[in-house]
Amino acid sequence: MSITPTSVLADPFDQLLNLIASVLVRDLAGTGDAYGKNSPTFTTIATGIPCALGLLSVGTDREFLAKSKEGVAFRKVLLRPWFQDQSPDGSRVPYWVYQTVTYNTQPLSHLHWLLINGENYDIFEVRNPGGRNHHVEALCRLIEV
């Protein structure tokens, strides 16, 4: 029996990532309706990001996090660390220097939105469990736009 590097290093976490997400940024410009409320528009900055979707229980802070009747469902999105300026060598370490250039300086944050299965998710917190850069948990509000 021979052991290949890929058979030893394969991570079962990747098999849990059964959905594909796009990372969006909300455009600030827009025209308001009769009540002065803007219909949001988005710019896609990344596509094809594997992820998994789970329920999120927020308990007593639900009213605070919802902030309106639009955000009524909460989800936890699991994905590998994502950076807008991803290192060419695939590193997930923040502020990684590769060939004298610093990469991974713009991580996924509360300024981004996720589009999964045609639904918009407003990120309100991104967690890095254990600080190991293995995966991140994006805590989101499901928004009807």
Q: What long-range pairs does 41-47 form, CB within 8 A, spacing at least 24?
A: 42/113, 42/115, 42/120, 44/115, 45/84, 45/112, 46/22, 46/82, 46/84, 47/20, 47/22, 47/23
Quick check: is 2 in a domain? no
pLDDT at 100 over 80: yes
Q: Report the number of distinct structural domains present in the chain.
A: 1
Quick check: is 130 in a domain? yes
Amino acid letter, residue 34:
A
Name the pTM for this structure: 0.77
Quick check: is 91 in a domain? yes
CATH number of residue 116's parent domain: 2.40.10
Determine the pLDDT at residue 63: 54
The boundaries of the domain holding residue 61 are 11-143
In which band, very low, low, confident or very high, does the pLDDT at 36 lie, cut at 50, 70 and 90?
A: low
Quick check: is 77 in a domain? yes
Determine the pLDDT at residue 4: 47
pLDDT at 2 over 90: no
**Tens-digit pLDDT profile for residues 39-92:** 778 899 999 999 999 887 665 455 555 555 455 688 999 999 998 898 888 888
Quick check: is 110 in a domain? yes
Determine the pLDDT at residue 60: 46
Quick check: is 71 in a domain? yes
Please give the share of the chain, as a percent, with pLDDT higher than 90: 38
In which band, very low, low, confident or very high, does the pLDDT at 18 lie, cut at 50, 70 and 90?
A: very high
Quick check: is 1 in a domain? no
In which band, very low, low, confident or very high, does the pLDDT at 108 lie, cut at 50, 70 and 90?
A: very high
